[in-house]
Copies of this chain bind each other. A is one copy, B any other.
Amino acid sequence: MKTAIQSAAFQFKLDLKSGVPAYRQIIDQVQAGIAAGRLASGDQLPTVRQMAVDLAINPNTVLRAYRELEIRGVIETEQGTGTFISGRKPQQSQAERERQLNQLVGEFAARCGSAGLALAEVIDRLKELAYETSRSGKREGR
């Protein structure tokens, strides 16, 4: 038996004026949700049609985002059932992880700097992203 949509707490939003393709914004938000812990292995994503309605875009655009996430192994799709966060955890060496973290953070800080954004405000925004809805209910294992 399936329970109601657990990911109801997760809200997708589009900024159509940003120049960033809609499908890419969806991909980013799913991956950001995973990083923030708001989406975890087994969680169901909104159906293609539902998200299309929510975001007022064409279902094909949602489909495309989901397909790309599936190719990358981020989500899994079950015909006629729905779309779920995949169980895969890459699990790399601690050293490698550390290296990657520094690489990402360093590059990001540089970019913020060149955009005239203070790290302080950027960190605040990230915190919001991370903790905003982190206390929402989750589906276990699957």
Q: Let me know if A74 is at the binding interface, CB within 8 A.
A: yes
Check: A24 CB closer than 8 A to any chain B CB: yes
CB distance A74 to B127 under 8 Å?
no
Contacts of A109 in B (CB 8 A): 28, 31-32, 35-36, 126, 129
Kindly state the separation between the CA atoms of A142 and B113 in the bound complex, as whole angstroms: 10
A139 CB contacts on chain B under 8 angstroms:
113
Could you say which of B27, B112, B115, B125 contacts A110, with CB atoms under 8 Å apart?
Answer: B27
SS class, residues of chain A in contact with chain B: helix
**Alpha-carbon separation in the docked complex, A123 to B130 (Å):** 9
Cross-chain contact B35 with A106 (CB below 8 angstroms): no
Indicate if A53 sits at the interface (CB-CB under 8 A). no
Contacts of A58 on B, CB cut-off 8 Å? 80
Given contacts A32-B106, A99-B18, A105-B122, contact A114 B37 (CB under 8 A): no
Taking a contact as CB atoms closer than 8 A, the residue among B90, B99, B126 that contacts A116 in the complex is B90
Q: Does A59 have its Cβ within 8 Å of any Cβ on chain B?
A: no
- Interface positions, chain A 84-142, Cβ under 8 Å from B, are 89-92, 97, 99-123, 125-127, 129-130, 133, 139, 142
Q: Assess the B123–A35 pair: CB atoms within 8 A.
A: no
